[in-house]
């Protein structure tokens, strides 16, 4: 069973920075595409960033582009989100989530939907 | 960006009854739609992908249908553990990956 555990959330002032981490308990992390998804209090889900298994491809939502940076350290089974220039509207629970994947007969496929999620870490941006 | 619109926002259903949730895409997404269930204080859980394929562990009372721009999640006979918020997500055209606003299924 894959487990994802986020950390690093907390209270930060507008304009400040925070770095989130997500540690995965899975032997396949180096083969997994990973994402960050957030949820503002009482609101819906918002995808914010993706990183490929190799770390060579990253995508961002427009709402965070230029301010957030996704990265990974597959040797440590870890995913990161560096968040700079934080705004009040960035207040949310931040989830790491794994792309759906399936292997059969030695061939693996993945899709950009999320089969495993962490429990989330709360980021509050307020003065 | 493909916008996903869910309706209704809230659905009041009695246990044992059927629930039908709708999701509409602003442009065709073929059948690249997933459905998630989220209970209070928990992370979302994948229920359906490919519009109609149940994810591992999803009970058979959950079924998905649709293609193009119109999608439906049906819960055939609501159990107490099914009262939750449900989200659809498209993964045909991205970035960005986009979710609907959610449908809350509550006890009538």
Burial class (CB in 10 A: 0-12, 13-18, 19+), A47: buried
Bridge partner list, B88: B35
pLDDT at A98: 95
Distance CA A30, CA A72 (A): 9
Of B32, B43, B101, the CB nearest to A117: B43
A45 vs B43: CB contact, 8 Å cut-off?
Answer: no
Residue B98 tokens read as: 């986009």
C-alpha distance from residue B57 to each of A23, A50, B1, B44, B47 (Å): 24, 26, 31, 14, 8
Parts of chain B with a pLDDT under 50:
none
Interatomic CA distance for residues B81 and A39, integer angstroms: 22
Can you list the residues of chain A whose pLDDT is less than 50? none
Q: Hey, are the CB atoms on A119 and B55 less than 8 Å from each other?
A: no
Q: Is A3 exposed, middle or buried (0-12, 13-18, 19+ CB in 10 A)?
A: exposed
Angstroms from B92 CA to nearest CA on chain A: 9
Share of chain A above pLDDT 90, in %: 85
Tell me the average pLDDT of chain A.
95
CB A125 within 8 A of CB A88: yes
CB–CB of B44 and A117 under 8 A?
A: yes
């Amino acid at each position: 069973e894959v487990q994802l555990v986020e950390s690093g959330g907390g209270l930060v002032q507008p304009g400040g920075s925070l770095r989130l981490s997500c540690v995965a308990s899975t032997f396949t992390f180096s083969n997994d595409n990973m994402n960050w998804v957030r949820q503002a209090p009482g609101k819906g889900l918002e995808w914010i960033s993706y990183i490929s298994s190799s770390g060579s491809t990253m995508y961002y939502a427009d709402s965070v582009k230029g301010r957030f940076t996704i990265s990974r350290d597959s040797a440590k089974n870890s995913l990161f989100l560096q968040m700079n220039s934080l705004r009040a509207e960035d207040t949310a629970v931040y989830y790491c989530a794994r792309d759906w994947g399936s292997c059969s007969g030695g061939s693996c496929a993945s899709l950009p939907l999320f089969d495993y999620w962490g429990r989330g870490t709360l980021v509050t941006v307020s003065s | 960006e493909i916008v996903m619109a869910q309706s209704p926002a809230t659905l009041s259903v009695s246990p044992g009854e059927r629930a039908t949730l709708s999701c509409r895409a602003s442009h065709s997404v073929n059948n690249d739609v997933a459905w998630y269930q989220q209970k209070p204080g928990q992370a979302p859980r994948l229920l359906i992908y490919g519009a109609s394929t149940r994810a591992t562990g999803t009970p058979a009372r959950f079924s998905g249908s649709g293609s193009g721009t119109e999608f439906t999640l049906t819960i055939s006979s609501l159990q107490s553990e099914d009262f939750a918020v449900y989200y659809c997500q498209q993964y045909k055209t991205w970035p960005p990956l986009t979710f609907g606003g959610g449908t809350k299924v509550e006890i009538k």
